Amino acid sequence: MILNNALQKLAPSAATWKAILKYLGIGSGRRRTSITNQSSLEYYLRSRASHASQTSLFGYLKTRAGTRFPELFKNPDYLVSINIAKWQVWLAALSDLAVFTGGLIHQRSEVSPEMIERLMNDTIEAILAESGIPEEAGPDFEKECEKTKIRIANCNWAAIKDDESAFTTSPAALIHWAPVIDEFKRTDSEIVMNSIRFRWIEIRRNLRQDLDVESLMQNMQRNN
Q: Is residue 162 part of a domain?
A: yes
Calculate the average pLDDT of the chain.
Answer: 87
Is residue 25 in a domain? Answer: no
Structural domain that includes position 79: 36-222
* Residue 77 in domain: yes
Number of H helices, E strands in the chain: 9, 0
Q: What's residue 221's pLDDT?
A: 80
Nearest to 49 by CA among 2, 116, 101: 101
Please, are residues 62 and 192 in contact by the beta-carbon 8 Å criterion? no
What is the per-residue pLDDT across 56-105, written as a single tens digit (0 to 9) for each?
999 999 888 887 878 877 888 888 999 999 999 999 999 999 999 999 99
pTM confidence score: 0.85
On the question of pLDDT at 26 being above 90, the answer is no
Q: Which of 28-42, 65-79, 199-213 has the highest mean pLDDT?
A: 199-213
Assigned domain for 11 exists: no
Position 86 in a domain: yes
Say how far apart CA 19 and CA 57 lie, in whole Å.
15
- pLDDT on residue 33: 80
pLDDT at 31: 60
Q: Is residue 1 part of a domain?
A: no
Per-residue model confidence (pLDDT) at position 10? 46
In a domain, 190, yes or no: yes
pLDDT band for position 224 (cuts 50, 70, 90): low
Look at the chain and report how many structural domains it folds into: 1
**pLDDT digits over 145-174, tens only?**
999 999 999 999 999 999 999 999 999 999
In a domain, 30, yes or no: no
